[in-house]
Structure 1
Amino acid sequence: MDPKSELKTIQARMAVIVDGYKSGGNLSDEQATELQELNDRATELKAAILRAEKSAENMRAVAGEPIDHEGDRSIPGAKGYLDFSPARVKSLAKSIANPGIKALIAGGSSGTAVPLDPKPVPLGLTGPNAGFLSLFKTVQRTTPSYKFLQQTVRTNNAAVVAPGALKPTSVYSAVEVTNSLKVIAHLSEMVDRFLLEDNDELESFLATELGNGVIRKAEAEAISTILGTSGILTYATSASYTPAKGFDGIFSGMAKLATVGGYTADLVVINSSDYETLRLAKNGENDYYGGGPFTGGPNPGLWGVTTFVTSGIAAGTALVLDTDTVQISTDTKGIRTDVDAATGFDKNQVRFRTEGRFATDVKQPTGILKVTLTA
């Protein structure tokens, strides 16, 4: 019998004995002895159950799985938001560098937890060029290959109908799409082992750079997947591009997303050079459209919408989308770092490999619009 079942049985027996005493009876010596023995065993079982749950919780934290402290702690297919803000990236690096890459050299590998948060991390709170993947709901996959539903038709024919009249039919069609997690990885150069052991800052530097590299490539892959999905909407500005046409084109794209797709744009993705052109644009009075040098944060949102500025999208192209139409998939292991201490043995050098598995699932293509800023 497992500990939880045994505990329930013991508690039920104790309740019978106590109820008999409360109803006016007297405890015999045998009952008193039995009650004491049952209570001692219940205490042992409670401690064992608590230890088991704590051990399972720690193992899930190492594997990168979220923990539901309110109920079931086994959460395959958990959903939430990745936190890849600068603070989180530093935290992930510290989890590798502390207790230390020195320990990693001895142990061989380290899995870095990437917990899921219930809410997305606003770009405005994380600084420029950070947290793109954090804006989309994420699903932790237990297998590298999986399926998701992608909408193909979204026709709303709802109408006012007279009593007894035929009701219209709306069409909402979806297909099952097979996708798979892609490994994103890279290696460090060979590093002198004693240099690592003597410099804690080098540990943090390597861990931060390697983890950050995987995250940024995952962001670029997500943008590429979104742009390459069949069925997304498009809009192009007229020829002879100017900043004013850029502003108008992005707003027109947002309007088309609402009128054609029926979605609300809550994210703009734009190339860093295109954003700089818009940010520095001036009107006929030589006033900045986006505020002067002493106003605004590093990346104020275009038309009041969260704006992600990146070199991961080509110049002349912008994305306008409803973030609910896209989800990110990853595994339950998080970002992992392994060490090769054998190849450079004769020179006392080591090399690190950091990797993670990610995929982008476009669930509703008509909730995404590509804006071409025509030259």
Structure 2
Amino acid sequence: MKIKELTDLAAKAEAGTQGDVNEAKARLLTLGGDLLAVAQTEDRELSDDEQDALKAAAKAVDTLEAKSAKIKESAAVMAKFGTMVPVAGAAGGPYGGPGDDCGCAEDDARLDFRAKAATINISAKMADPTGQKAIASSGDEITGVPLDSTLYEQGKVSNSALAILPFRTRPPQYGYLRQNKRVNNAAPVAVGQLKPTSEYGLVSVDGKLEVIAHVSEPTPEYWLSDNRSLQGFVQTEMQYGLERAVENQVINGDGTTPNLRGLLNQSGLQVQPFATDATVTVRKGITALETLGYTGGGIILHPSDWEALELSRRTSGDFDLGSALPVDRPAQRLWGLRIAVSISVPAKTGLLFDLAALAVVGDGQVRTQWSSGVADDFSRNQVRARTEGRFGLDIYQPQGIVKLDLDPAA
């Protein structure tokens, strides 16, 4: 199966139908490394089919690297002119707010933490696809040591508030207009009389993207060359850690530079007190939105609160679940609205929002770079990865967000 997957992906890479360039390249390297590891473990030479597959994969990796280089070159040119790469629905209104085409619909742009490119590819390509001994430039003979290419990693939290929050690209510094209130005084006016004044509470907000980043612990270079899955593993872990940090800032950031000001620390939000139970409380929060002209678009809950909702029962003793009832477990919805389960939001607290009221913002890039130039890493044959991005949080309409109190003891 690995041979077929390897040859199929290599063919797609040559045809330009492989999808994401870096993901395809990483997958080719992983499959090729696994194929070599099996042969080495079984202490045998590669079959003709295996050699052909590895040769095709090596050629495909070269093709993908050339494509990646062109993408980087294009990005560098665009960066010189301050051009931001657009994402679906990223166009805003005339004043920097969400606008009619804000990309805030449920199925539009969301934040993707897969790094677009690694500056240095530490893991060597399959330079000798036969899997046999290779001769180094110094004349030394190098043979492979069998290594289990499977990385046994810890579990990851699969849910994130970022999965349902709208995302928009922004330059490093920008501005937008926020509406804080609406006082509509339109009324009949007699001839010659002064017309009443309505107030719409517009304020100018200065926005800035903040860098969120981290660096990996030192990794021996030989680990990377001996295990072709390791580079992808480290990058995935780094991206996961970055996602968790951004999510926590979006929810809990205190606004002290360089922290973001998270949703729970924003002023002007609506607050819905606990009423009867969590299901009723959320429904009353939806009414609070609709009363002011907003539409419920998503809900963020702690896993324990979502569990309590799923286990809630009607007076008959049956679970309060099903497409015709408030809680829809298969679709993960409550009152028809999407639920994001997040460990960043405190238990007994929820967030309900109109999708047009806010957006997570960034420059549209997550960068992963490798270097041996930290401390004495070079002399120790060690490298480190750095993963970072620039992010912010825009609040366009504070009253389009409801903080839910789900604590019956409050």
TM-score, normalisation: structure 2: 0.58
* CA offset digits 1:8-52 (Å, max 9, x no partner): xxxxxxxxxxxxxxxxxxxxxxxxxxxxxxxxxxxxxxxxxxxx9
Q: Give the direction of change, closer, same or farther, for the CA distance of 1:267–1:349 in structure 2 (3 Å limit).
A: same
Select the structure with the greater relative contact order (CA < 8 A; seq sep ≥ 6). 1
User: How far is 1:56 from its partner?
Assistant: 4.0
2:243 aligned residue = 215
Higher helix share: 1
1:363 aligns with 2:382: no
Q: Give the direction of change, closer, same or farther, for the CA distance of 1:356–1:55 in structure 2 (3 Å limit).
A: closer
Which runs of structure 2 are paired with 1:130-279 in the superposition (5 Å)? 130=160, 132=162, 135-141=165-171, 143=172, 145-158=173-186, 168-224=196-252, 225-238=262-275, 245-259=277-291, 261-279=292-310
1:241 aligned residue = none
Equivalent residue letter for 1:232:
L
Worse-superposed segment, 201-210 or 213-222: 213-222
SS class of match (1:153): coil
Worse-superposed segment, 363-372 or 334-343: 334-343
Structure 1 CA distance, aligned partners of 2:246 and 2:311?
30
Q: 1:309 aligns with which of 338, 341, 356?
A: 341
Structure 2 CA distance, aligned partners of 1:373 and 1:182?
32
User: How far is 1:82 from its partner?
Assistant: 4.3
Q: Give the direction of change, closer, same or farther, for the CA distance of 1:233–1:83 in structure 2 (3 Å limit).
A: closer
Structure 1 CA distance, aligned partners of 2:189 and 2:200?
20
* CA offset digits 1:238-271 (Å, max 9, x no partner): 5xxxxx6100001001101211x32111111111
1:351 aligns with 2:384: yes
1:121 aligned residue = none
Q: Percent identity?
A: 34
* Aligned length, in residue pairs: 277
Structure 2 CA distance, aligned partners of 1:361 and 1:194?
44
1:102 aligned residue = 123
Q: Give the direction of change, closer, same or farther, for the CA distance of 1:296–1:246 in structure 2 (3 Å limit).
A: closer
1:129 aligns with 2:166: no
Equivalent residue letter for 2:165:
L
* CA offset digits 1:86-112 (Å, max 9, x no partner): xx55xx35x546983437xxxxxxxxx
Structure 2 CA distance, aligned partners of 1:198 and 1:218?
33
Question: Could you say which structure has the larger radius of gyration?
Answer: 1
TM-score, normalisation: structure 1: 0.63
Structure 2 CA distance, aligned partners of 1:187 and 1:57?
24
* CA offset digits 1:120-150 (Å, max 9, x no partner): xxxxxxx962472663141321x3x332222
User: How far is 1:212 from its partner?
Assistant: 2.1
Q: Does the 8 Å CA contact 1:133/1:328 hold for their aligned counterparts?
A: no
2:357 aligned residue = 325
User: How far is 1:318 from its partner?
Assistant: 0.7
Q: Give the direction of change, closer, same or farther, for the CA distance of 1:134–1:315 in structure 2 (3 Å limit).
A: closer
1:66 aligned residue = 85
SS class of match (1:129): coil
1:46 aligned residue = none
Structure 2 stretches of 5 or more lacking a match? Answer: 1-69, 88-95, 125-156, 253-261
Structure 1 stretches of 5 or more lacking a match? Answer: 1-51, 69-76, 104-126, 239-243
User: How far is 1:83 from its partner?
Assistant: 3.7
Structure 2 CA distance, aligned partners of 1:254 and 1:214?
32
Structure 2 CA distance, aligned partners of 1:128 and 1:253?
27
Q: Give the direction of change, closer, same or farther, for the CA distance of 1:173–1:296 in structure 2 (3 Å limit).
A: closer
CA RMSD for the aligned pairs? 3.7
User: How far is 1:159 from its partner?
Assistant: 5.2
